[in-house]
Amino acid sequence: LRSIAKGFPGLPSNVDAVMVDGDGDIYAFKGSEYWLYFADIKRATGPRDIENLGIVPENVDAVVLRSDGRLMSFKGSNYYEWNNTGLYEKKQICDSLEV
């Protein structure tokens, strides 16, 4: 297993979650911070405060960019949905599943 930091200079190792946006840029999340790796210039910026993205909580388990542009973060049994207008309320994953 290879560290993400070795393949993408400027990103930290041991990240909590990673997301790739529509441009191929990589967001790496660790604790209360995130880094952004620009694929076209192969360079990272950060760390920056995760709150700037509207993602809660810290130490996210996963982050997903949906095809409709909404950003979703997951922590434990909850998820948070965000778009350019702001953060949505915390929701239970099990309440959102249809069986």
Encode pLDDT of 60-98 as tens digits: 898 888 888 777 888 899 888 775 566 567 788 887 666
C-alpha distances out from residue 64 to 1, 19, 82, 85, 99, Å: 22, 6, 10, 17, 22
- DSSP per-residue string spanning 16-54: SEEEE-TTS-EEEEETTEEEEEETTTTEEEEEEEGGGGT
What's the domain range around 81?
A: 4-96
Look up the CATH number of the domain holding residue 32.
Answer: 2.110.10.10
Q: How many domains, in total, are found in the chain? A: 1
Q: What is the pTM of this model?
A: 0.77
Encode pLDDT of 7-66 as tens digits: 888 999 889 889 888 889 999 999 889 999 999 999 999 999 987 776 666 788 988 888
The residue written with tokens 């910026």 in the block is 45
